[in-house]
Structure formats: C-alpha cells, structure tokens
Amino acid sequence: MSHEATKAPRAGSGEMFDAIAARYDILNRILSLGMDQGWRRRAVQALALRRSARALDLATGTADLAMTIARWYPDATVIGLDPSSGMLAEGAHKLAAAGLEDRVTLRIGDAQALPFEDASVDGVAIAFGIRNVPDRARALREMARVTRPGGRVVILELSEPRAGLMGLLARTYVHEIVPRIGAALSGAKEYRYLQRSIEAFPSPEVFTRMMGEAGLSVVEASPLTFGVAHLFVGTPLEERARREEA
C-alpha cells in the first residue's frame, strides 16, 4: 500500500470530518453545553432574509444551520454545501425525517470556489466552518461575490476567550476539557484539532479587517457567551466601493 493511501487526512478536511460524522451532532450538544443551538438561531436571525429568499449555508455539515434557516424563513430555499460526504449523508437523513428535502438541497462543495453566479443568493451563512478553510480570504471573497447587493454574509465561529475570570474558565474548558471529552465520546483524536484550530483563529479585530479586504462591509462583530464564539455580519460592498478599496 502506498504512502498516499495510508497518510492521515488533513486536519479540518472533509475526510477528517467523515470520520466523526455519525456522532458529530451529539458531541456538539455536549461539548458546547447546548449553547450551539442558541448561537445558530442568533446567526439565522442576523441573515434577515427577504421573502422567497435563496440562502447558502457553507460548511453545512449535518445541516443543522440549513434546517434552522428553512424553519425560521418558511418560504426560503436553502443550499447546503460541504466537502464531507459523510457529514452530508447524516444531514440527508435529518432532512428526510423533518420533511425538508423539498426546501433544503445538500451538495458537495468548497467554500473557496463556489459553483454559483455573482449576486445569485440572498444570504450566505457559515457556522463553525471558516476556521477549517485553508484560504479564508479567498472564501470571504467568494461569499461577497455570490451575495446580492443588500444581502448579508453571516459568520459564526468559535473563538479564544480573552478577558476576565469567565474568559479564563472558558479557555480552560476549550483547551483542557473539550478535547478530552470529544476523544472519549467519539473514540477519535480529531477533537484535539478543535483546540488548536480555535487558538490559531485570528482575533475578532483581525478577522473583521479580513472581511473588509474581501469586499464586505462589516455591520456587526459580537462576542457570544463570554467570547467563546463570535458572530460576524457583513454586506457586499458596491462594485465602485470595491474598486476604491482595492
């Protein structure tokens, strides 16, 4: 067997998430102490979709956010894109059980090269996925490109808590407890990656600047639950403004 066939999948890749797909949802509930559901609802509200909207959920995983969008906006259609076939298979089962297959479509895809025309969706969301994208700046440019003028790009991501006693407790939880619980419950060492990826993610100030450089006007950058997560909301700059920014 060749070295290529036996090497471990890249951390954060679709293949890595294939390995934990079956238990991903229950692990999220336990590891976030149930807070991830409330964070997703906040992100969905921030999309502020118009009637009969077309929304794009990147790094959709098992389709939690896509389903929340479909339920919150009953006349919207949602496309969920993810590089992991295993995660999408779990999501397809959930859509069938919820009767949402006619309004939520799941596709294999890469946030760095979106298979959509310019200004072709009314809103883009990505929850807990942007830190896994190798070229984040490219993905942000793609989100700005496919979103119609006046639409919103909403990014929900875990972050490194920084200040105060609660920040210290949250950092201890993320660095010491989350990887151990994740590994114990899933039998997979991939959850060590969670700690490293959160620690390596840019600060809110740096990430907000990245959004602006990618052609997004940032309208919100809010810490959630003592900074354990952050919500970023942007709108595409007009073409003239983009040229001036460049």
Q: Which helix (H) or strand (E) holds 222?
A: strand 216-224
- Is 75 labelled as part of a ligand binding site? no
Residue 2, C-beta contacts closer than 8 angstroms, at least 6 positions apart: none
- Is 82 labelled as part of a ligand binding site? yes
Distance CA 208, CA 125 (A): 16
The residue behind tokens 């052609």 is: 215
Contact in structure between 218 and 155 (CB atoms under 8 Å): no
Distance CA 197, CA 194 (A): 5
- Give me the count of residues in the chain: 246
| C-alpha distance from residue 51 to each of 74, 77, 235 (Å) | 9, 10, 18
- Is 111 labelled as part of a ligand binding site? yes
Give pairs for 70-76: CB < 8 Å, separation 24+: 70/100, 70/103, 70/104, 71/100, 72/41, 72/44, 72/45, 73/44, 73/47, 73/49, 75/51, 76/49, 76/52, 76/103, 76/122
- Is 135 labelled as part of a ligand binding site? no
Residues tagged in the binding site annotation? 62, 82, 110-111
Residues tagged in the binding site annotation for S-adenosyl-L-methionine? 62, 82, 110-111
